A and B are shown apart, each in its own frame.
Chain A
């Protein structure tokens, strides 16, 4: 049953005499109001209030109940969520209660100067007096109600079903509501409040549990999982397993039965447009890249040829100069040389050699001088072998220079050798990779993809930690230290160090820094942050390598290189399929209502429904003979949360476990678990002796709070 609301303004308010009471079922989920004696409430709506701002006029308005989302778009609802007057099952926010009552009375058709009818309103069992008195005050003062009566909704429901014959004078009412669940025993038709039992788990908690579980399992669909939608899902698909352990084992085994019990919710999804555009794009991009590289190559070629031309010109000039030198006479050499700018003939020759070398390099010929260096080193290092004491100082200097040259050239050779070996290694690995790929392309691709994913996650996580740590590093004073930093062990250690360092120095002068150990602290503190930086570099290099590889071989790969991408995106390693948009409810179907029987699952340390019946019967003050047997024979299920299929059987099994063997147990669901409370209250209010059960404004002021505390309705009239 999805949300129902009936808010048509009633027009026959004036046709009811002043003595006809108004009956209100004030529940944490729904508010129902109507006239006594009728079978159905006239007006009902969800018991929530929203106060959004109207977008254009800017005024804050009040909207009661759940409304059409199409109309809500005119309002700015960001700062106003739905608010309830209830805290657990007790009314505490009377301003909201007043809005709700306003709306209720208004839709019932009230139009005179005050609400001139007695009012019967429901409350929770053992309602605190404050709540009760404030409610009475509200009704008396603001609405001018002549007399008020308070009753427990479960009791009204029970009496109504008793009249219908579903249960007897002595029985047990198990009422599972929106925020709480109660077990109330009835003896001689009256509820025994001393033996009543309440657990703070209700339909709201079941829905919340389901919502959390599904959001955690499918974080990308979180936006679609609104509370209302999850409530719908719960009402449609959840059931109570007769035995949780065996049911779960079915699912664990993966039986066909388990498959049948799994429900799949398909979200609306449009398949992405087919592969033509991507491949076209890819081809286009490839062509662009080709053109760019072509252009670059041409530019490089042009530069190189121009450089070669320059060098050749220079070479020609130098040769010409040499020739001229040969032709010039001996005396004119210095002046001629001074003109050309070279110091001596050797200078010209050496620059000639240099230019030829660079020309040859530009033409990519083997540079002979390098090879020449090797045999020449043997000659150049002649001095090394001669021991020191036989050399003159200049020769010693020479020797040192030669030593230095030798070691560096040897080092260079070694490095070249190592590079060569590494190249070979990499070639070998690549070949192996290729072989693996050729033999099993799919598997290889998958492996690569998973590796990429793991690495990228690791890198991202470390980056996240780093930025968190970075924030504390920069901004200790601003107080923006969040949970992310505190939970890391390294950061905790750092904080500890900081606090002890700051604390030890105490009053007086600051003696920090005198001892050497103090500076060790700085090293430790800063090391924590440096440590993180070396690790990921290799990971990142690996990641880059794998992504480039994937890009080559996998046409559908899109590298996730943005650091800011959150986990809420679907990892796009393959084109999105229909399955990505399915929400599968398997174990959750019966795991969520299980909390009604086992509140430990959500951390509420109280007894579940079946245990509560035992507790309640134990608490009975006076046990006549056979009373308990009579009670177990008429157990009634009331409340919205008892609509789960399988609840009656489970309760029966549970109660059988705690009662002596062979006791008759009968668990019946009320004729209409949701509306029976209102119907019972309406029948009660229509009875003749009802006015004696109410109290008027005079009573309220004269008799005081103590009397109000002890005020209880007598349910058998």
Chain B
């Protein structure tokens, strides 16, 4: 290790005196470590919130409902107000210049703009 790296101590040491079991004992090398952590969706599923009374607050309960306001339509490219929708690419646009720009975009960019709005075509 280079001296400056050791001096700056950015690397985490492997042995700590205050720990009862060290990391290298807990997670021996060569074993796949990451696979067995449950993601949030799985955690929530495993919680079985439906077994508990519904008025008790739990992680799923307190989530916000969908918005009551009508969806605000803004142009995907410029951010202005967009009353128009391009049927071919389903991007929103504000005026004719933006429309010209949209029609000249390669497909990759169109999908990225749509992905901003979570409206991209996802092929699984």
Residues of A near any B CB (own CB < 8 A): 54, 56-57, 61-64, 67-68, 71, 74, 87-88, 90, 92-95, 98-99, 102-103, 105-106, 110-115, 125-131, 141-144, 193-194, 196-200, 209, 212-213, 216, 244-245, 248-249, 251-252, 457, 461, 483-484, 486-487, 567, 587-588, 591, 598-608, 611-612, 615, 621
Pair B8/A600 contact, Cβ less than 8 Å: no
Interface size class of B (residues with CB under 8 A): 35 or more
B78: nearest chain-A partner, CB-CB = A587
- Residues on the A chain within 8 Å of B118, using CB: 602-604
Q: How far is the CA of A125 from the CA of B62 in the complex (A)?
A: 9
A193-B10 Cα distance, complex, nearest whole Å: 40
Q: Is the CB of B23 within 8 A of A615?
A: no
B44 contacts across to A, CB distance below 8 A: 128
> In the complex, are the beta carbons of A611 and B1 less than 8 A apart?
no
Contacts of A587 in B (CB 8 A): 78-80
Q: Write out the residue numbers on chain B whose beta carbons fall within 8 Å of the beta carbon of A249.
A: 80-81
Pair B1/A88 contact, Cβ less than 8 Å: no
Q: Give which listed residue, A92, A94, A127, A607, contacts B67 with CB less than 8 A.
A: A607
Given contacts A111-B17, A129-B47, A611-B68, are A212 and B123 in contact (CB under 8 A)?
Answer: no
Min C-beta distance of A603 to chain B, whole Å: 2
Cα A245 to Cα B109 with chains together (Å): 26
A61 touching B117 in the complex, CB below 8 Å, given contacts A90-B40, A194-B57, A591-B74: no
Whether the Cβ atoms of B18 and A110 lie closer than 8 Å is yes
A248-B74 contact, Cβ under 8 Å, with A71-B4, A88-B40, A90-B40: yes
Q: Are B40 and A194 in contact (CB-based, < 8 A)?
A: no
What residues make up the interface of B, taking CB atoms closer than 8 Å to A? 1-2, 4-5, 8, 10-13, 16-21, 23, 26-27, 33-34, 37-40, 43-44, 46-47, 55-59, 61-69, 71-72, 74, 78-81, 94, 104, 106-107, 109, 112-113, 115-119, 121, 123
Interface of chain B, helix or strand or loop or mixed?
loop
Q: Which of A197, A487, A605 contacts B62 (CB 8 A)?
A: A197
In the complex, 5 of the A-B residue pairs with CB atoms within 8 angstroms, ordered by the A residue number, are: A57-B1, A115-B18, A128-B43, A130-B47, A487-B121
Output the least CB separation between A86 and chain B (Å).
Answer: 9
Give Cα distance in the complex from A567 to B34, angstroms.
Answer: 37
Contacts of A483 in B (CB 8 A): 123
Supposing A63-B12, A98-B23, A102-B23 touch, asked if A112 and B74 sit within 8 A by C-beta, the answer is no
Expressed in whole angstroms, the minimum distance between the Cβ of A227 and any Cβ of chain B is 16
Q: Could you tell me if B58 and A92 are in contact, using CB atoms closer than 8 angstroms?
A: no
Contacting pair A130 B43 (CB below 8 A): yes
Query: In angstroms, how far is the closest chain A Cβ from the Cβ of B116?
Result: 6
CB–CB B18/A105 < 8 A: yes
**Nearest 9 interchain pairs by C-beta:** A603-B118, A587-B79, A193-B57, A87-B40, A62-B12, A110-B18, A606-B64, A591-B79, A607-B64
Residues A141 and B79 in contact in the complex (CB < 8 Å), given A102-B12, A198-B62: no
Contact check, A607 vs B68: say whether CB atoms are below 8 A apart. Answer: yes
Interface contact A608-B62, CB-CB below 8 Å: no
Tell whether, in the assembled complex, residue B117 and residue A602 are in contact, meaning their CB atoms are under 8 Å apart: yes
Q: Tell whether, in the assembled complex, residue B38 and residue A67 are in contact, meaning their CB atoms are under 8 Å apart.
A: no
